[in-house]
Chains A and B, each alone.
Chain A
Amino acid sequence: MSASSAITINQTQQDIAARLPQADPPLSDDDADAEIVYAPAPGDRGTEVRVLLPNSPGGLGQKVAAVMGLDAQRELDDALRRFKQLLETGEIARSDGSPTGTDARAQRSQQPAQPSEAGQ
């Protein structure tokens, strides 16, 4: 079962590619065999980044993972969002409800929107 996702990042292809090692897996994972295709976004809006993960685990394992919020599609979507945040803003957006930032798993078990004791 494959996963694919696309996002527009308001930077040049060269700048995006150069910072790919700072992305989260599977974007930065050489073993993931991610196929990344860049195209200029029309209207001077940066670069369209398309990622295809051809070798995601399938079958029962995939279904169990999906129930737990761990499937390859979500992981890829999250990684792309976080990468865009990092490149465009210099940081990963963190809220009280999602203190570690964009993570589909955290969206199922949100912390209350109030500061935590640990300063997380």
Chain B
Amino acid sequence: MRANCWMGRNTVEVRDVPDPVILNPRDAIVRITSTAICGSDLHLYDGYIPTMEKGDILGHEFMGEVVEVGAGVANLVSGDRVVVPFPIACGACNSCLAGLYSLCENSNPNAGMAEKLWGHASAGMFGYSHLTGGYAGGQAQYARVPFADVGPIKIDNDLPDEKVLFLSDIFPTGYMGAEMCDIKPGDVIAVWGAGPVGLLAMASANLLGAAKVIAIDRFDYRLRRAREQTGAETLNYEKVGVLAALKDLTGGRGPDACIDAVGMEAHTDLGPLQVYDRVKQAVRLETDRGPALREAIMACRNGGTVSVIGVYGGLMDKFPVGSLMNRSITLKTGQCHVQRYTRPLLRRIENGEIDPSFVISHRLSLGEAPQAYETFKHKQDDCVKVVLSG
């Protein structure tokens, strides 16, 4: 089959690789009809996530048609149309039973590797380094899906791929980011990052009853999409001071909750701080650049919540712990527990409450993946979200 492989920093190639086969009874093989490039794939592309190997197939947002199931999969048959969540989860361990699917205790064969970096391991994930298991990803023609009796959600309606594809990651991730804000009537929610996850966090905050949503980014074309598609007020941090502007927009209080939808490669227009983080990251003295998270904490109202769905990998400097502690800020985090959200969010799509495809800017073929990574990385051609098919 053809698959988009990581070949080193800033290099991906669409190559011929062997087709996947069933390895375990609870596996299924899916022929992929649509797959997407995630902002978090750029952290791999840019070389900031450790434990990548040359030849790793990328991609963790995909859907398609079941073509084969293992003997232990009773709920799917060949021909079923499914969306596959990015975390691989067994459904039987204590974490899965508690709904914490991205922390499945059994799906990461490299858990020992992750424990060295993080203390405890996360679940296995598709196409996301060997720390999260070393599973081939979904930017390919086929994928092997472990625990296929737990993760994949069957799509029985005739909604087009692009309306349901994002149930694999970014819609549940944005939704969980908003849900962690515990939104009460009248709440103002600020979202750092108007990329696909940030946009879906804004739309989700609206679904959950936010009185006002404020988007923070530096790309006007993304802020425009936030205004037009989610009704957010927007702040371009290259043009205004974010902390002062947020105080102004909230009567001095600060947002009730702040969502970090940026993650480890955050940018700041404060030159010296950007240089400090870039240098330390380049020489691996810190792995994560922190301006978005730092600012989200500083901006949050006293007693408010900071919700982190942007991906971080290791260590960050200059973490404003004094602001966090003295002002009773609640910090909530996590890789999305996608399996918890697929069914309720599919219902919201079917009911017409939301169409997550509003984030898509580019529709390309799998063979165009290398150019798509470049376009996405450098924010060329007003790129927000790339979907690859066939």
Identify the A interface with B (CB < 8 A). Answer: 8, 10, 45-46, 74, 77-78, 81, 84-85, 88-99, 101-104, 107, 110-117, 119-120
- Known contacts A91-B26, A95-B133, A112-B56; A104/B18 CB under 8 A: no
Q: Which residues of chain A are within 8 angstroms of B25 by Cβ–Cβ distance?
A: 90-91
17 contacts across the A-B interface (CB closer than 8 A): A84-B93, A84-B105, A88-B106, A91-B24, A95-B133, A96-B57, A97-B134, A102-B110, A107-B112, A110-B130, A111-B53, A112-B54, A113-B53, A113-B55, A114-B57, A115-B20, A117-B18
Q: Would A114 and B26 count as touching, CB distance under 8 A?
A: no
User: Is B349 among interface residues, defined by CB-CB distance under 8 A?
Assistant: no
**Which of B90, B106, B134 has a CB less than 8 Å from the CB of A96?**
B134
Distance of A8 Cα from B93 Cα, bound (Å): 9
**Which of A45, A74, A96 has a CB less than 8 Å from the CB of B136?**
A96
In this complex, what residue of A is CB-closest to B123? A93
Q: Which residues of chain B are within 8 angstroms of A10 by Cβ–Cβ distance?
A: 92-94, 97
B144 to chain A, nearest CB (A): 7
Interface mask (B294-333 → A, CB under 8 Å = 1, otherwise 0): 0000000000000000000000000000000000000000
B129 to chain A, nearest CB (A): 8
Distance of A46 Cα from B56 Cα, bound (Å): 36
Interface mask (B109-121 → A, CB under 8 Å = 1, otherwise 0): 1111100000000
Q: Which residues of chain A are within 8 angstroms of B107 by Cβ–Cβ distance?
A: 93
Distance of A49 Cα from B276 Cα, bound (Å): 46
- Known contacts A93-B146, A117-B18; A101/B109 CB under 8 A: yes
Number of A-B contacts (CB under 8 A): 131
Q: Would A114 and B18 count as touching, CB distance under 8 A?
A: yes
Distance of A77 Cα from B110 Cα, bound (Å): 12
User: Is B135 among interface residues, defined by CB-CB distance under 8 A?
Assistant: yes
In this complex, what residue of B is CB-closest to A8? B94
Distance of A114 Cα from B18 Cα, bound (Å): 8
Q: How many residues of B contact A (CB 8 A)?
A: 43
Q: Which residues of chain B are within 8 angstroms of A89 by Cβ–Cβ distance?
A: 26, 90, 92-93, 106, 147
A32 to chain B, nearest CB (A): 20
Distance of A106 Cα from B208 Cα, bound (Å): 45
Q: Would B92 and A110 count as touching, CB distance under 8 A?
A: no
Q: Would B112 and A104 count as touching, CB distance under 8 A?
A: yes
In this complex, what residue of A is CB-closest to B72? A90
Distance of A102 Cα from B90 Cα, bound (Å): 15
A10 to chain B, nearest CB (A): 5
Distance of A46 Cα from B107 Cα, bound (Å): 19
In this complex, what residue of A is CB-closest to B51? A110
Q: Would B23 and A85 count as touching, CB distance under 8 A?
A: no
Most B-side CB within 10 Å, residue of A85, A89, A104, A119:
A89
Identify the B interface with A (CB < 8 A). Answer: 3, 5, 17-21, 23-26, 51, 53-57, 72, 90, 92-94, 97, 105-113, 124, 127, 130, 133-137, 144, 146-147
B120 to chain A, nearest CB (A): 12
B149 to chain A, nearest CB (A): 10
Q: Would B106 and A93 count as touching, CB distance under 8 A?
A: yes
B310 to chain A, nearest CB (A): 23
Most B-side CB within 10 Å, residue of A8, A45, A94:
A94
**13 extra interchain contacts, Cβ-Cβ under 8 A, other than A74-B112, A95-B109, A113-B53?**
A10-B94, A81-B111, A81-B112, A88-B90, A88-B92, A88-B106, A93-B108, A93-B133, A94-B146, A96-B144, A107-B113, A113-B57, A119-B21
Q: Which residues of chain B are within 8 angstroms of A99 by Cβ–Cβ distance?
A: 23
B177 to chain A, nearest CB (A): 27
Q: Would B90 and A95 count as touching, CB distance under 8 A?
A: no
**Which of B51, B92, B136 has a CB less than 8 Å from the CB of A114?**
B136
Distance of A119 Cα from B127 Cα, bound (Å): 18
Q: Which residues of chain A are within 8 angstroms of B127 by Cβ–Cβ distance?
A: 113
Distance of A77 Cα from B112 Cα, bound (Å): 8
Q: Would A113 and B134 count as touching, CB distance under 8 A?
A: yes
Distance of A116 Cα from B108 Cα, bound (Å): 19
Q: Would A98 and B134 count as touching, CB distance under 8 A?
A: yes
In this complex, what residue of A is CB-closest to B126? A113
B246 to chain A, nearest CB (A): 40
Q: Which residues of chain A are within 8 angstroms of B26 by Cβ–Cβ distance?
A: 89-91
**Which of A46, A94, A115, A116 has a CB less than 8 Å from the CB of B109?**
A94
B19 to chain A, nearest CB (A): 6
In this complex, what residue of B is CB-closest to A88? B92
Q: Which residues of chain B are within 8 angstroms of A111 by Cβ–Cβ distance?
A: 53, 134
Q: Which residues of chain B are within 8 angstroms of A120 by Cβ–Cβ distance?
A: 23
